[in-house]
Amino acid sequence: MTYQPQFGDIAHLGHIELLTPKFEESLAFFTNTMGLHVSGQTDNSVFLRAWADYERYTLQLTRSNTSGLGHVAFRARSAKILDELVQHLESHGAKGEWRQESFGHGSAYRVPSPDGHIVEIYYETEKFQPVGDQVPGYKNMPQRYRPLGIAPKRLDHVNLLAQDIKACRLFFRDLLGLRVTEQIVFEDEEMGAWLAATNKSYDIAFTRDKSKAHGRFHHLTYMMDSREDVLRAADILVESGIAIETGPHKHAVGQTFFLYFYEPGGNRIEVGAGGYLIFDPDWKPVVWSREERSKGQAWGLQTVSTFHTYGTPPEEED
């Protein structure tokens, strides 16, 4: 029988490569204010992770002349599934290429999303090995919690801008087996799609790019254990002089508690908490209309205009 990708074949979002034109400032922000941990570096990149991320890294920060997405990587369920996914992609016209072992993980297949974002799939990975004062007090955690800065718990999701939301949604649903959890559809036009590889309400989202650009990045999100932690993060940002774009507030979509801001390189970052888990294997996507979205966020906050228009790299027209 022909292989058909099913929910769970992509195990989870693995890491995100973020480009920054202000490498040193970005790095200082992610280590000091965000409280991420450096776990390696190469000539042009530093590799970072949150304290409860189990792999070697979840964020690759790369020196560049612009901001935006380098690539986004997902870990497959097994080596066999990785191969089957790649064959399935190729047989459905999604042609990419294999790359040899990279920092922290084994060979990976890179394929463009319908909007041109570089999507990577891999299976072999290097798990984080704590040493010294990183050794956790709780043996079910990969590392000791270090109370410095915002100190999020783990990478949660990525949000990408795209011209054709439907194409991106079907790419991740039909070629990679993700579950479509929520959508925004204005009349007949898809404006947003949220998809999950796990029981979370989403691991990747696509929202409509108002500019004509392709392959742009909207935000990535690290998760806190509680909404109180997000409120604390807001104070830390204010005290650090980092511009908060919007929040803390609650999303109607996904039910997550959010806080958006910009790292020094210009990329939008979120720290969040909460949301809901989906257990129903037959989940039907929740579809929000233009009228429903016009009510603003969960508690009525109107979405700030930059949230609809700003992505990285920025458009000159923006």
Q: 139 exposed, middle or buried (CB, 10 Å; 0-12, 13-18, 19+)?
A: exposed
Q: Which stretch binds a second copy (CB under 8 A): 5-13, 91-99, 163-171, 309-317?
A: 5-13
- Report residue 7 as tokens: 């929910």
Q: For a second copy, which residue of 201, 207, 221, 267 counts as binding (CB under 8 A)?
A: 201
Smaller CB separation from a second copy, 112 or 136 = 136
**Cα distances (angstroms) measured from residue 222 to each of 2, 168, 207:** 37, 23, 19
C-beta of 216: minimal distance to a second copy in Å? Answer: 24
C-beta of 282: minimal distance to a second copy in Å? Answer: 8
Q: Does 139 bind a second copy (CB under 8 A)?
A: yes
State the CB neighbour count (10 A cutoff) for residue 272: 26
- Report residue 61 as tokens: 């920060």
- What mask, x for binding a second copy by CB under 8 A, covers residues 53 to 92? -x--------------------xxxx--------------
State the CB neighbour count (10 A cutoff) for residue 170: 14
Q: For a second copy, which residue of 24, 44, 199, 290 counts as binding (CB under 8 A)?
A: 199
- What mask, x for binding a second copy by CB under 8 A, covers residues 15 to 54? --------------------x----------------x-x
Integer Cα distance of 65 and 206 in angstroms? 25
**Cα distances (angstroms) measured from residue 212 to each of 208, 254, 314:** 10, 27, 11
Smaller CB separation from a second copy, 105 or 216 = 105
Q: Does 11 bind a second copy (CB under 8 A)?
A: yes
Integer Cα distance of 96 and 119 in angstroms? 9
C-beta of 252: minimal distance to a second copy in Å? Answer: 6
283-302 residues in contact with a second copy (CB under 8 A) are 286, 288, 292, 298-301
- Contact between 15 and 57 (Cβ < 8 Å): yes
234-263 residues in contact with a second copy (CB under 8 A) are 234-239, 241, 243-244, 246-250, 252-255, 257, 259
Q: Which residues pair with 13 in a beta bridge?
A: 74
